[in-house]
Amino acid sequence: MHHNAGRKQIDVVLAAVKKMGLTAQPIPGSDRTAIGVLGNKGYVDDINIRNMPGIKEIIHVTKPYKMVSRDFHPKGTLVQVKGITIGEGKNPIVIAGPCAVESEAQIMKTAQAVKRLGADLLRGGAFKPRTGPHTFQGLKEDGLEMLAEAGRRTGLPIVTEVMSPENVNLVAAYADVLQVGARNMQNFDLLRELGKIRKPVLLKRGMSATIEEFLAAAEYIYAEGNHQIMLCERGIRTFEPATRNSLDLSVIPVINELSHLPVIVDPSHATGKRSLVPPMTKAALIAGANGIMVEVHPEPDKALSDGPQTLTIPGFGKLMEEIRALRSFMGY
């Protein structure tokens, strides 16, 4: 709508869109109000509305997302997790913890160490998506309890994965941030269910998802009403065997141009190799990531999953020193 379109003109357009059998969602900005038109099956003829007073421009959206785009919401979304603010202009956060919760002792020891060394959030998997059915699949609800207890004792908010729509409420009862894994980025029923809760979601990029598909997946959550979404780059699948995946750091500035959602980088899954985590962490931060997520384990070589890419506690301590110096260089 024009910047000087009034309430009445907006209402007339909203009503006209409804009459076309579509949903009209007003998106008020600082200067002007945009109206998102949703629910169309394919292309919609705009003949009924195109000459209405107050309309500045009708953009036929060909991209599969709009609410998560900068066009509709120029200001960066800030995600709030128990007093921590994540996003544009904020000190980039550090999420640390083991790939999987394996035992009370393991997760508590890790939690206390990463808290002491300066992590902002604690991660740990209770439901583990694994390539084959014959390997460790996570401690499930027991794991959630251990993780939550470690969070309570250390004061660290916790991040953990949810794999299935029917477990969203269960996981949300324990977790401060719910993670969607790469394999589930296009599990649309799961995304819709996460749109209905009021806890932040960390959405990982699918292993061969384009940035457009990544943002469209976030749109599923956003469209249901949950706007607290963080996007997580974790490497894409390419022909290169030297790293587990190919970390695509260009994603950070590209998404910053296209979307208002914060970007977190996971250099552990991306590289698959401990020694590559520190340089890629620093690269992610200076390229503008709003946070990083790294795997830490007291004894990586005994970890039930992802050992080779997991930092030791002293290794994480050393990395935190580098992160602190870099944050300060960047003015945080």
Residue 17 Cβ, how far from a second copy at the closest point, in Å? Answer: 13
The residue among 147 and 289 lying less far from a second copy, judged by its C-beta, is 289
Query: Of 264, 233, 288, 261, which Cα lies nearest the Cα of 76?
Result: 261
Q: How far is the CB of 7 from a second copy (least distance, A)?
A: 26
Pick 95 or 236: Cβ nearer a second copy? 236
Residue 124 or 157: the one with the smaller Cβ distance to a second copy is 124
| Distance in angstroms (rounded) separating the CA atoms of residues 143 and 124 | 9
Residues in Cβ contact with 292 at an 8 Å cutoff, skipping those fewer than 6 apart: 92, 93, 94, 95, 264, 265, 266, 267, 281, 284, 285, 323
When the beta carbons of 177 and 251 are compared against a second copy, the nearer one is 251
Residue 179 CB partners (closer than 8 Å, separation 6+):
123, 159, 160, 161, 162, 201, 202, 203, 204, 232
What CA–CA distance (Å, rounded) separates 162 from 177? 10
What H or E segment, with its residue span, contains residue 264? strand 263-265
Q: How far is the CB of 35 from a second copy (least distance, A)?
A: 14
CB of 299 to a second copy, least distance (A): 14
Nearer Cβ to a second copy (42/83): 42
Task: Tell me if 5 sits within 8 A of 41, measured CB to CB.
Answer: no
Could you tell me if 157 and 177 are in contact, meaning their C-beta atoms sit under 8 angstroms apart?
yes
Nearest distance from C-beta of residue 128 to a second copy, angstroms: 9
Integer Rg of the chain from CA: 21
Considering the complex, what minimum distance in angstroms separates the CB of residue 115 from a second copy?
26
The residue among 83 and 132 lying less far from a second copy, judged by its C-beta, is: 132
186 neighbors 206 (Cβ within 8 angstroms):
yes
